[in-house]
Amino acid sequence: MNDQHFMQLALAQAHTAAVAGEVPVGAVLVRNGEVLAQAHNAPVSLHDPSAHAEVLVMREAARLLGNYRLDDCTLYVTLEPCTMCAGAMLNARLRKVVWGAAEPKTGAAGSVHNVFAQAQLNHQTVNLGGVMSDECAKPLQTFFNKQRAAQKSRAMATRLRDDAVRTYESAFDGLPDYPWQPNYISELPSLNGLRMHYLDEGPADAEVTWLCLHGNPAWSYLYRHMIPVFLAAGHRVVAPDMPGFGKSDKPKKDSAHTFEWHRQVLLEFIEALDLRNIHLVVQDWGGILGLTLPMAQPWRYESLLVMNTLIATGEQPLSQGFLAWKQMCADKPLFDVGKLFARGNPQMSTDECAAYNVPFPDAGHRAALRAFPAMVPSSLDSPGAEISRQAAAFFKKQWQGRSLMFIGQQDPVLGESVMRELHASIRACPPPVLLPHAGHFVQEHGRDVARQALHCFHPHTQ
Ligand SMILES: [Zn+2]
């Protein structure tokens, strides 16, 4: 009975250790039925390899008694003592040790060897093991299971699939106006172990989340002018790099990229992060895919900020500008991405343009760039065309959120005429804001776009 009572106290100490991130072992030292000292394992927090629970309770008790000899004391500990602790008990002439779970690797009270059974020693400490052993083993099992799971998820995060490549992290160091910490996710079923990168800035419990989706051949860098505006309003911003782009893993095969797969990745991503009160921000493929997302879970979305893009239903031929772009990508598969940005954006610095080349150091990293232009649904039965028609119908008839459209008028690919058509199919969308100097990549003029959108969706925000 008494043994159980004191072992319970030792177990409480073990739980305290677990909370502190220490291996959960607890001990109490008892004299004449009275607890003299209680302690838990603390080598990590005390920076002390000898700070085992047993040593700590003996130290405290000896201090209280003014005597290093504890010959009328009993020590209760949840785990079989190690050689050091068993030795210290003998040095203290401890009368009795009662321990819980056996320790098959380092136990010195019978499991590996038995320090207490040395016949040549004058003093003998009574050694009683296995008291409440199951209860005592439980916190240890839980602790090590958790540790193993954490190790596994760290390994998952660094593992690279055989059929994918990854741009060196250091290649992204020091890019202008991109100070944000990387976040990675690889647990989505559709990613099947591929690692996807995303920015996640601002408070997790912010009133709204701006979900910023990039297109081809860009990445989350595209949103560097808009993100600070949203953060300054106290909002959250989430900006993923689609697989094949930016800091995300890049499948080696062009055929890995399909409309359905990328859409599924985005749906699972939004669900995994449980994003709500979303202001959806789209442009280019960010819209071709992104505009098909709200109909799946309309309750997650509040507003739409749409820049040069389309819903590719396959009902109408793709624009001449788009066909020319598709042809260029086919003719010059190694085209310079930075130069593409420079051409439409004289205001960009050399370093900013170069930042768009960073994800793609060689042809092996460019599968997405090769695959995407041909993936835009061009006929009624193209993959993605049917889901895009559903999306168009959704935005025309069911969309309940607010909308705001910006048109970069210098865009030869998805310019004003394409955008006017899209505008007609978004329910209750106010007249578009025309940006005469902006090209396809409207986000490069994003500071003003973000301010206007913020003012539109949050009129009371400064
Ligand atoms: Zn020990």
Q: Where are the alpha helices (DSSP H) in 314-405?
A: 320-331, 337-344, 350-355, 367-375, 385-393
Residue 462, pLDDT score: 60
Residue 118, pLDDT score: 82
Q: Which amino acid is at 431?
A: P
Q: Cβ contacts of residue 431 below 8 Å, gap of 6+?
A: none
Check: pTM over 0.75? Answer yes or no. no
Nearest to 277 by CA among 302, 306, 305: 302
DSSP per residue over 12-53, as a string? Answer: HHHHHHHHTTS---EEEEEETTEEEEEEE--HHHHT-TT--H
How many Å lie between the centroid of ligand 1 and the Cα of residue 120?
A: 22
Q: Cβ contacts of residue 106 below 8 Å, gap of 6+?
A: 82, 83, 112
Peptide bond into 203 cis (omega under 30): no
How many Å lie between the centroid of ligand 1 and the Cα of residue 86?
A: 7
Residue tagged active-site, from 235, 284, 365, 445: 284
How many Å lie between the centroid of ligand 1 and the Cα of residue 97?
A: 13
Exposed / middle / buried, residue 158 (Cβ in 10 Å: 0-12, 13-18, 19+): exposed
Q: Which stretches does DSSP call E strand in 170-208?
A: 183-185, 196-201
What are the CA-CA distances from residue 383 to residues 269, 291, 323, 394 (Å)?
21, 16, 18, 19
How many Å lie between the centroid of ligand 1 and the Cα of residue 83?
A: 7
Nearest to 22 by CA among 45, 39, 5, 49: 45
Residue 1, pLDDT score: 58
Phi and psi torsions of 200, nearest 5°:
-145, 95
Q: In the annotation, is 162 catalytic?
A: no
- What is the torsional sign of CA 67, 69, 70, 71? negative
At 279, is the secondary structure helix, strand, or coil?
strand
Each residue's pLDDT expressed in tens, for the chain with a length of 462 residues: 589 999 999 999 999 999 888 999 999 999 999 999 999 999 999 999 999 999 999 999 999 999 999 999 999 999 999 999 999 999 999 999 999 999 999 999 999 999 998 877 777 899 999 999 999 999 999 999 988 888 877 776 678 999 999 999 899 999 999 999 999 999 899 999 999 999 999 999 999 999 999 999 999 999 999 999 999 999 999 999 999 999 999 999 999 999 999 999 999 999 999 999 999 999 999 999 999 999 999 999 999 999 999 999 999 999 999 999 999 999 999 999 999 999 989 999 999 999 999 999 999 999 999 999 999 999 999 999 999 999 999 999 999 999 999 999 999 999 999 999 999 999 999 999 999 999 999 999 999 999 999 999 999 876
Pairing of strands 34-40, 26-31: antiparallel
Q: In the annotation, is 284 catalytic?
A: yes
Q: In the annotation, is 411 catalytic?
A: yes
Q: What stretch of H or E contains 85?
A: helix 83-91
How many Å lie between the centroid of ligand 1 and the Cα of residue 51?
A: 8
Residue 373, pLDDT score: 97
Q: How far apart are CA 161 and CA 165, in angstroms?
A: 8
DSSP per residue over 94-158, as a string? Answer: -SEEEEEE--TTT-TBTTS-BGGG-TT-S---EEE--TTHHHHHHHHHHHHHHHHHHHHHHHHHH
HSE (CB half, 13 Å, CA atoms) of 100?
29
The single residue listed with the structure tokens 């209760």 is 76
Exposed / middle / buried, residue 123 (Cβ in 10 Å: 0-12, 13-18, 19+): middle
Residue 158, pLDDT score: 77
How many Å lie between the centroid of ligand 1 and the Cα of residue 42?
A: 11
Residue tagged active-site, from 200, 241, 249, 411: 411
Residue 153, pLDDT score: 72
How many Å lie between the centroid of ligand 1 and the Cα of residue 212?
A: 53
How many Å lie between the centroid of ligand 1 and the Cα of residue 369?
A: 59
How many Å lie between the centroid of ligand 1 and the Cα of residue 85?
A: 4
Residue tagged active-site, from 52, 214, 235, 440: 440
Tokens of 51: 């700070």
How many Å lie between the centroid of ligand 1 and the Cα of residue 14?
A: 14
